[in-house]
């Protein structure tokens, strides 16, 4: 069975960039956020969202991620309710994906809330991606057209870099692409021999 390597970091830290670098090295990478988007449309998720949040989080009969995000970020109770709906479905999706990729020596499981969700407990090693706060904010503004206040709310709802790095095996400081790529290659060489 493949070793499971958790890849995490705060919003805008560059997790997706690092994940792509591992993919380029031939490592299977599971992106939990993509799975989260996919499972929202499953009948089980739709029914639970309607029960818990009502029709206000839907647009044209489909879960509206922006409406859901606006409702839950900055509200720990509602975020917890959403997580209780989505996390079991993502966990099931990951387990199916893992079976399909079991021949790989190791896989990467990328998720922003690795520690917050308890997913770190299923990982053999953990990589945290960090970046300066202002870099993170400007990346998210240009990527999502979000405003600074909304981004800071999301950052406040996640663990700090200090909390993540204290529980991680490897730290990637994502300040420039060349340096980040070298860090990824170095970690890849170590993980190949686990």
Q: Are residues 110 and 86 in the same domain?
A: no
pLDDT digits (tens, 9 = 90+) for 26-40: 999 999 999 999 999
Q: Are residues 132 and 175 in the same domain?
A: yes
Q: Are residues 79 and 11 in the same domain?
A: no
Q: Are residues 138 and 189 in the same domain?
A: yes
pLDDT digits (tens, 9 = 90+) for 36-63: 999 999 999 999 999 999 999 999 989 9
**13: pLDDT strictly greater than 90:** yes
**74: pLDDT strictly greater than 80:** no
14 is in an annotated binding site: yes
Q: Are residues 5 and 66 in the same domain?
A: no
- Residue 172, classified by CB atoms within 10 Å of its CB into exposed (0-12), middle (13-18) or buried (19+), is buried
16 is in an annotated binding site: yes
- Residue span of the structural domain in which 161 resides: 1-28+105-194
Q: Is the pTM of this model over 0.85?
A: yes
Q: Are residues 112 and 145 in the same domain?
A: yes
175 is in an annotated binding site: no
Domain boundary residue among 81, 100, 119? Answer: 100
Q: Are residues 110 and 186 in the same domain?
A: yes
**119: pLDDT strictly greater than 80:** yes
Q: Are residues 50 and 122 in the same domain?
A: no
Q: What average pLDDT does range 113-118 have in this prediction? A: 89
Q: What percentage of residues in the chain have a pLDDT greater than 90?
A: 79
10 is in an annotated binding site: no
165 is in an annotated binding site: no
Q: What average pLDDT does range 18-25 have in this prediction? A: 98
Which region among 11-25, 71-85, 100-114, 177-191 has the lowest average model confidence (pLDDT)? 71-85
**1: pLDDT strictly greater than 80:** no
Q: Are residues 91 and 52 in the same domain?
A: yes
Q: Are residues 109 and 96 in the same domain?
A: no
**116: pLDDT strictly greater than 90:** no
Domain boundary residue among 75, 100, 125? Answer: 100
CATH number, position 179 = 3.40.50.300
Q: Are residues 62 and 17 in the same domain?
A: no
Domain boundary residue among 47, 72, 100? Answer: 100
**150: pLDDT strictly greater than 90:** no
The number of folded domains in the chain is 2
Residue spans of alpha helices (H) in the chain? 15-24, 32-39, 43-53, 65-72, 76-100, 133-144, 148-157, 161-166, 177-191
Give the dihedral of Cα atoms 127, 150, 73, 58; nearest 10 deg. -110
Q: Are residues 6 and 44 in the same domain?
A: no
59 is in an annotated binding site: no
């Amino acid at each position: 069975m493949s070793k499971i390597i958790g890849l995490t970091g705060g919003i805008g830290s560059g997790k997706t960039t690092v994940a792509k670098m591992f993919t380029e090295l031939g490592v299977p990478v599971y992106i939990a956020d993509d799975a989260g988007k996919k499972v929202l449309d499953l009948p089980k998720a739709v029914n639970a969202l309607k029960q818990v949040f009502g029709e206000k989080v839907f647009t044209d009969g489909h879960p509206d991620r922006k409406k859901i995000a606006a409702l839950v970020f900055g509200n720990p109770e509602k975020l917890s309710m959403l997580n209780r709906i989505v996390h079991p479905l993502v966990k099931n999706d990951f387990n199916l994906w893992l079976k399909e990729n079991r021949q790989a020596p190791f896989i990467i499981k990328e998720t922003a809330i690795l520690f917050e969700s308890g997913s770190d407990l299923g990982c053999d090693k953990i990589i945290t991606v960090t970046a300066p706060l202002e870099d993170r904010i400007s990346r998210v503004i240009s990527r999502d057209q979000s405003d600074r206040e909304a981004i800071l709310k999301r950052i406040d709802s996640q663990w700090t870099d200090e909390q993540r790095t204290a529980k991680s095996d490897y730290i990637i400081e994502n300040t420039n692409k060349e340096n980040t790529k070298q860090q990824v290659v170095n970690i890849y060489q170590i993980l190949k021999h686990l």
